[in-house]
Amino acid sequence: MGMPVSVHLRAPHLGPDVDAAVAAVYAELRRLEALLSTYKPDSDLSRLADGALTLDQCAPEVAEVLELCTLATAHTAGAFSALRPLPGGGHRLDPTGLVKGWAVERAAAPLRDLGVDWYVNAGGDIAAHVAENRPPWRVGIEDPHDRGRVLAVVALRDGGVATSGTAARDGHIWDPRTGAPADRLASVTVAGPTLLWADVLATAVFVEGPAAVGCAVRDGYEVVVVHRDGRAERTAPVVAARCEAAPAPTP
């Protein structure tokens, strides 16, 4: 997936099934990467983008991801797209902004049967779960202007945290409607019920700017926005009745 992925467990005692469950997480991530990588020319997704395969010839996971991307595009009013603008014009299929969160949540399923606290960290985006009567995970949010500083902390019991920004890699988030790199904000972190939609919403707010925060909040997600001048704003998930976007789809 082009990034480090780590699995973390927390419990007074870890049972005998832990090693097998963690191995299953990595095995599923490798399987999904082989199908959906934009870096591997022989993946189903790359071959679909090249026209070497039809969607019907691809593994069913490819169609599932593209259906979710269509849903995400509609839900964010076009601020999210699975079509990446090309320098010379045109577009290429690239669902990267959704597939990471989807893949991590899918791969983490074996951890839910262990009865322990766990989180999976995929390049800084986190899917997590905490057993009943246990304290939540506390996830630090990096200051994009000073990456050695923690700007804020969010508590997470069951769901995901995703950050979109350019501190680690510049110019990789684009505005689908203009084809230009998104540069309104320094970073956006979204935390809430699922990593899949936290990832999508973080991308959408980073592209659209603060105007898109209300819909993420209405969907039940907490948002931390860092402006390019260093100002930080934080919201809490509430019902925003005046938000006109469609209700958040269920993954």
How high is the pLDDT of residue 86? 87
Give this prediction's pTM: 0.89
Domain ranges of the chain: 5-234
CATH architecture for segment(s) 5-234? Roll (3.10)
How high is the pLDDT of residue 244? 36
Strands (DSSP E) contained in 60-104 are: 83-85, 91-93
Q: What is the mean pLDDT of each run of 10 residues along the chain (251 residues)?
A: 89 91 97 96 98 98 98 93 88 94 97 94 95 91 90 93 78 79 90 96 91 87 92 69 39 43
Neighbours of 127 (CB within 10 A): 28
Q: How far apart are CA 209 and CA 24, in angstroms?
A: 38
How high is the pLDDT of residue 250? 45
How high is the pLDDT of residue 185? 92
* DSSP label at residue 49: H
